[in-house]
Each structure stands twice: as structure tokens, then as C-alpha cells.
Structure 1
Amino acid sequence: MSSVAPFLAESGRPIFEWRWVERNADAIVTRLGEHVSLTAAALGIGLAASLALSVLSLRYRWFYSVTLGTAGALYVIPSLGAFAVLAPLFGITSYATVVIPLATYTLLILVRNIVTGVDQVPRDVREAAVGMGFTRSRLLWQVELPLALPVVIAGLRVAAVTTIGLVTVTSILGRGGLGYFILAGIRTTIPNPTPIVVGIVLSVALAVTVDLLLWLSERALAPWARKARAR
């Protein structure tokens, strides 16, 4: 609190103004929509790429180590550095410049969870499916991946929350999102805490909401996992 008080005293503004929210209600809805759109695009691309990489990793085990090593290297690249690398190729405000790095940050989490989830499928289940005439491809898509769903969704929850946090940085590139309000509040001549609070609170609320929705989807799609944990 001691670090906040001097800031408020210097700015001369209250920490939150409802009138500002009322005046900017349309902009808040627009920026929230941008945030959701960027998050959904990054997660969708990341999940599709992770499924493809996981299928290859399950078939060729050497490829799994290569995939995790590459995804791990991409994961540690700072987001601003990744944006800077792609900006000359696609343009600084390009959709691709923003979404590609966000999608790559999900690969390490999702690939590891997908492969781990499939590896945890009981051996007798696999043998029973093979005995019923399941091909390798059919076994993966109709037996192993559905049984691995709780682990996959757990990884998706982590990736979603992480991506929502990273999307706030894209406002620096002019792509909007809730980070726009944080940046706008800092850049004003007299710092305005209200848009900063709005950007932070809505980002956290969005992360909590998405995480809850994914948790509920796991309970609906994999009820056997809940029963197994209860035992």
C-alpha cells in the first residue's frame, strides 16, 4: 500500500472511477472481444499443431525428444523478442506477428500432456481394442485420446490461462486486447489508474472464466475420471 499511495497522491486521481467505465463501455466490450479472439486463435492453432506433433511423437519416440526440446527453446523466448523477430516478416501490427508466438508458447504444455495422457492408457485396454480389430490409427483416435482427455484438458487449462496473460502484451503492437487499457492508463500525461484496474481485473476474470469452463467441459466429457478420483 505504501508504494501505491504516493502514486495516487501525485496523480490526483481516485484509484477507480465508475464514470470512466460508463463512458468507455463500448470500448471495453470491443477490447474484451479482441482479447478473446486472439486467445482462441492462438489456442486453436496451438492445439492443432500439438495434436499433429503428438501423433508423430507417439509413433516415432525419437521425435518426441526433438519436439520437446524445440518447444522448450521457443517457450523461453520473451514475447517481445518473438514479436520483434516476426515483425519484419509480417509487419509490426500483423495478426500473424501476434498469433504465431502465442501459439508456439502452448506447444510445450500441450504436446507433453497429450503424449503423457496417451501413455497412461492402461495396457489391457489397448490389448482389448487390438483384439477387437482396431487399427493403430483407430486405436489412437477412438480409444487412447478419449481416455487421455482429462490430462489433455488439464494442459489446455494451463495453456489458456498463460495465453490470456500474454495477450495483454500485444497492445504494444497495436493489436488491442485488454492490455490496451493498461497501456493507455500509463501513457496519459497524468497516470490514470482506472483503465489500468479495468485491464487487469478483466484479464484475471477472463482467465478464471475460461479455466472454469474448461474444467466443466472435462467433467462433462470425461465423467469416468471424476469417479476414478473419487475412489
Structure 2
Amino acid sequence: MANRVVLSWSGGKDSCMALTKLVHAGHEVVSLLTTVPKESDRTFAHGEKIEMIEQQSKSLAIPVHFVHCPLEQYTETFIKDLIQLKEQLSLDSVAFGDIYLDGHREWGENVAAAAGLEAIFPLWRRQEESLALLTSFVQSGYKAAVIRIRQDIFDDSWLGKELDHDFLASIQEHPVCPLGENGEYHTFVYDGPLFQSSIPFTRGSIIAQENSKRLEIGLLA
């Protein structure tokens, strides 16, 4: 049965794969949902500037709703905004791009239930299937670049890497989840079958944070 869905959106490959699955299943994705620290212009998930998410929204022709929330009230604010969107957009469901982490699924199911919505996990599968899912993304026609890494696992050379067949081969040489489901790396998708146009962006400085490093990206003037 087709639903009106809001999709939790980080801007990376998992969100994009989830969107594709939802569209192919006949669901109507009426909004993207991205969390942002209160009084910040960057996303919680990957640290991109929100203007980059806005460009994805524009190219996908799907509106984006930013949930501005303090870390200590993250869940409560997420639920509050979901309830508001449910009324405004006549939502049936909220979808998430989680793949196999039970704790993430439990959180998604709980916030959906609190908002009176169905929780959908289009990518959910066994951990052993991660490589097959990454292979599917590489072959899908979408284009994505690595914008954040865990510095205890990868060196700076991984920042900016394209998710292509070379990446697919290289990631298998490391004892990590091929999809980065445990935060090993994060990506930004800038083109592909559902995009109306490619998003040109700059690749700037590398910024070190507590346990990770982030590639600063911005819109190409």
C-alpha cells in the first residue's frame, strides 16, 4: 500500500538508497527531514552546511524540513516536529535509512509511534549483506563523495574519494562495515537517477574534530 512518507535525510548514500527504494515501491515521499543543532547552520549527521542539503532538496524536487534541536532535547524535538508534519502533510509514515543496528531501529520505531506514524526501514537487512548493498549503490548511477571519516580507521586520503568501483575494492581491505554503518565514513550524494541536475561543489580544507575528520564542502560559485 502506497503511503505519504517523510524521510529522515542525512544527505548521504544510505538516505539516497532509502529514497530510491521508497519511490520504486510506489510511496510518495512528500518531505525530507534533516536535524540541525539549535543555532547552527550545519547538520547533526555529517556536519554539512544546510545549504548543501537545500541543494539536494531542490535537485530532487522534494521539500526539506530542518529540525532545529539542542542535543539534550533531540528526541523530544524530533517527535514534536514529526507530529506537526503529520498534520501539515497528512503523513502516514516516517522512513529511516538504517541498515542493521537494532538500537537505531528501536529509536526510529519509538519516535514514529510517539507521533502516531508507521516506521519504515527500506534498507533493513542482515549485516552480512552490507557489501552487496554497497555494490548496488556503486552500480546505481548515483554519485557520492566521502566527506567524513573516523580518524582511527582511515587517513586523510579517503576524504573526497568517490564511491566507485575503486572504492568498493579498497574498502574491503579494511576490517570495517563496507557501508560505514558504525560511523567509519560518511558521504554526500550529488547526482544520480532521481536528481534533476548535478550539484557542483567545492572540496576545501580538512577539519579535525574529536574522533573524526571532515572535508569542508561548499557550493561552487
- Answer whether TM exceeds 0.5 for this pair: no
Higher helix share: 1
User: Is the radius of gyration larger for structure 1 or structure 2?
Assistant: 1
Q: Tell me the TM-score normalized by structure 2.
A: 0.27
Q: Tell me the TM-score normalized by structure 1.
A: 0.26
The higher relative CO (CA closer than 8 Å, separation ≥ 6) is in: 1
Higher strand share: 2
